[in-house]
Amino acid sequence: MSQARHSGEHSSGSPRTVRDVVFVDGVRTPFGRAGEKGIYAGTRADDLMVKCIRELLRRNPSLPAERIDEVAVAATTQTGDQGLTLGRTAALLAGLPRTVPGFAIDRMCAGAMTAVTTTASGIGFGAYDVVIAGGVEHMGNHPMGSGADPNPRFMSERLVDPAALNMGNTAENLHDRFPAITKERTDAYAVSSQDKLAAAYGKGQIQPDLVPVATLKPEQGWTLNSVDEPPRPGTTLEDLAALRTPFRAHGRVTAGNAAGLNDGATAAVLASSDAAAELGLPVKMRLVSYAYAGVEPEVMGIGPVPATEKALKNAGLGIDDIGLFEINEAFAVQVLSFLDHFGISDDDPRVNRYGGAIAVGHPLASSGVRLMNQLARQFEEDPSVRYGITTMCIGLGMGATVIWENPHHPGYGTATGSGPESVTEGAAA
């Protein structure tokens, strides 16, 4: 146990020191295309999660499994192979000691991100030293919205436009709100996402995060999946122009400029900086601040804007302090609305260097940790960057943003904005 926790116990009511939270390591399964032909058809979601947890332990042999204080696993649909309190079942199935607790968590697309920030808060408070946080979504087994029973009051009282329950419609709505974002721009953005991912694969920047998963298909036998299935490298503007606009006749949103329907899992180890030092765990990023914000459900894609503004304010930083952006690409229009708001160009090299969900896929609740894995690798590659953000939009009108500091930056550990010695009262304002 740490000093901070002791001081808290002995002086309840007095201000307590927030402990620094660090991102130790993260992994993910290769992502698959949802559906009968996808690589994970016939594979269970919880098994995908288990592969990630076990890989984290293998990669971090100095972490004793019994030191893990919590396993938080997100899934949007928590039934069937994603039910039964996933964090706990995944911990048991992964062979973690029975003394390690776990829970399931849901914030739709930001599930894994919320698993990270929730457990990180627990670390900051002194409740945990080390946690595993992640998410899984097998959209083949659990199509979006399956089993959901929206309250009729949403419609009768016009609380939410029923169209807002369909994410594609909200993306079309976003085009209506921002006429400057044209289909040409979103398609161009989508092509660059595919290109950037292909380039990152070529440089071996994606593969290190992946946990190979063996799968068995009828009349095919076992195979090993070690790369993502969704990418379509070489996609051209002409290819995209030919696609249907399924959400609106003559609309702008297509399967090509949006993330697909995918299967996959992610998991990360977070620790207090003290515990990381004690156990000899690597520090890939330091958590600076995070924020969630609500927006109109009909234009949920704009959520990252207020979430980021709030997180920057919490951190005492400005947008210009951010050197790298990992923004989830649910829809190209949603990314562009964010970039336009902050005056960042569509092809800014700080944004999604490895491409994004349009190319790699977006298994809803798992994606948050993928963004963090990639930001962590970019931090390592680019010590000139001090701060980066991971941000994503969330169904029913929300945004989520986490700001991280690069430990490889020469100024790491010195006070700028929100330093390691910040105090809770300030951060919560």
Partner 1 sequence: MSAADFTKLAELFPDETVTHSYVQDIALPAAHGKPSPGIFALVTLDNGLDHSKPTTLGPNTLVELGTVLEGLRERAARGEIVGVGVTGKPYYLVAGADLSAVKSLDNREHGLWMAQLGHDVYATLANLGVPSFAFINGVALGGGLEIALQSTYRTVSTGAGALALPEAFIGLVPGWGGVYILPRLIGPENAVQVMIENPLSNNRTLNGPQAFKLGIADAMFEPADFLEQSLAWAAEVISGDVVPERSNAVDPSLPGTADRWTAAVAAGRAFVEGKTSNASPAPAKVLDILEANRTMTQAESAALECETLAGLMQTDEFRATVYAFLDLVQKRSKRPAGAPDRKLARPVTKVGVVGAGLMASQLALLFARQLKVPVVMTDIDQARVDKGVGYVHSEVDKLLGKKRISQDAANRTKALVTGSVSKEAFADADFVIEAVFEELNVKKQVFAEVEAIVSSDCILATNTSSLSVTAMAEDLKQPERLVGFHFFNPVAVMPLLEIVRAPKTDDAVLATAFELAKGLKKTGVLVKDAAAFVVNRILLRLMGEVTAAFDEGTPAEVADSALRPMGLPMTPFTLGAMVGLPVAQHVQESLHTAFGDRFSVSANLQKLIDNGITSLWVPSSGGSQEIPESTLSLMSFGTSPSTGEEVLRRTQDALAEEIGLMLDEGVVAGAEDIDLCMILGAGWPMFLGGITPYLDRTGASERVNGKRFLAPGIASRA
Say how far apart CA 55 and CA 100 lie, in whole Å.
17
Q: Which of 1, 84, 155, 216 binds partner 1 (CB under 8 A)?
A: 216
User: Residues with Cβ < 8 Å from 130, sequence gap 6 or more?
Assistant: 24, 63, 67, 68, 69, 269, 270, 271, 272, 275, 279, 281
Q: Which of 62, 226, 236, 345 binds partner 1 (CB under 8 A)?
A: 226
Binding mask 47-66 for partner 1 (x = CB under 8 A): x--xx--xx-----------
Q: Quick one: which segment of 7-15, 213-221, 239-247, 249-257 binds partner 1 (CB under 8 A)? A: 213-221
Q: Which of 179, 218, 343, 349 binds partner 1 (CB under 8 A)?
A: 218
Nearer to partner 1, 152 or 218 (CB): 218
Class of residue 243 by CB neighbours under 10 A (exposed 0-12, middle 13-18, buried 19+): middle
Residues in 192-211 at the binding interface with partner 1, rule: CB under 8 A = 211
State which amino acid sits at residue 425: E
323-345 as b/e: b if 16+ CB within 10 A: bbbbbbbbbbbbbbbbbbbbebe
By CB under 8 A, residue 223 contacts partner 1: yes
Q: Which of 84, 159, 214, 242 binds partner 1 (CB under 8 A)?
A: 214
3-state secondary structure of 190: helix
By CB under 8 A, residue 280 contacts partner 1: no
C-alpha pair distances (Å), 55 with each of 28, 262, 267, 268, 402? 9, 21, 9, 10, 24
**Binding residue count for partner 1, defined by CB under 8 A:** 21
By CB under 8 A, residue 179 contacts partner 1: no
Q: Which of 10, 158, 179, 224 binds partner 1 (CB under 8 A)?
A: 224
Residues in 112-151 at the binding interface with partner 1, rule: CB under 8 A = none
C-alpha pair distances (Å), 156 with each of 160, 161, 162? 9, 10, 10
By CB under 8 A, residue 88 contacts partner 1: no
C-alpha pair distances (Å), 212 with each of 29, 48, 227, 228, 362? 6, 10, 8, 10, 18
Nearer to partner 1, 211 or 261 (CB): 211
Q: Which of 221, 249, 414, 429 binds partner 1 (CB under 8 A)?
A: 221
Minimum separation from the CB atom of position 226 to partner 1 (A): 6
| Active-site residue (options: 52, 138, 142, 393) | 393
What letter does residue 243 receive in the DSSP assignment?
Answer: S
User: Residues with Cβ < 8 Å from 349, sequence gap 6 or more?
Assistant: none
> Residue 396 is encoded by which pair of tokens?
């029913």
Binding mask 23-52 for partner 1 (x = CB under 8 A): ------------------------x--xx-
The closest alpha carbon to 388, from 307, 296, 292, 308, belongs to 308
Say how far apart CA 172 and CA 163 lie, in whole Å.
10
User: Residue 401's beta-bridge partner residues?
Assistant: 291, 391
The closest alpha carbon to 110, from 338, 291, 289, belongs to 291
Nearer to partner 1, 202 or 410 (CB): 202
362: annotated active-site residue: yes
By CB under 8 A, residue 212 contacts partner 1: yes
| Active-site residue (options: 52, 109, 138, 175) | 109
Minimum separation from the CB atom of position 211 to partner 1 (A): 8
109: annotated active-site residue: yes
52: annotated active-site residue: no
Applying CB under 8 A, the residues found at the interface with partner 1 are: 47, 50-51, 54-55, 93-95, 211-214, 216, 218-224, 226
Active site residues: 109, 362, 393
